[in-house]
Amino acid sequence: MKPTEKQKRFVDEYLKDLNASAAARRAGYSVKTADRIGPELLGKTCVSKLIAERIQKRQQRTEITQDFVLTNLKEIVQRSMQHEGADEYDPRAAAKALELLGKHLGMFTDKIKLEGELTVSGILDELVKRKEAG
């Protein structure tokens, strides 16, 4: 199943800040239901695949990957532990920039907010729907 245009807008918005509820609101979903719809959209296979594809393309384009962040963090640690520095540089600014890049890549998750109801009958209904859909 392909994502709808509205779901594609959600993905575009989600990739800005990785906030599902805010992305749902910005993509045009109801303010009242955005807190429920956002996480629900992340659970849809077509949406999660599109997010993964877009992240991979962005990483290839920018060459900023988790390895890039980790390598540079390691370099900052090593430079910071030197007794004498060869060059003047601000490790705090570099670390902050890497922190922001890492958060954008989903490396440093502070908290995960899950909301909604989970019932056995709801799960069974969803499984039946998915099986019927193929």
Say if residue 58 is in the same domain as residue 119: no
Contact call for residues 9 and 28 (beta carbons, < 8 A): yes
Q: pLDDT tens digits, residue range 7-45?
A: 999 999 999 888 999 999 999 999 999 999 999 999 999
Full residue range of the structural domain in which residue 53 is found: 1-63
Overall number of domains in the chain: 2
Six token digits for residue 117: 């109801």
Residues of the chain predicted below pLDDT 70: 80-89, 109-116, 118
pTM over 0.75: no
Last residue of a domain, one of 35, 63, 91: 63
Separation between Cα atoms, residue 110 and residue 103, nearest integer Å: 9
CATH number at residue 33: 1.10.10.1400
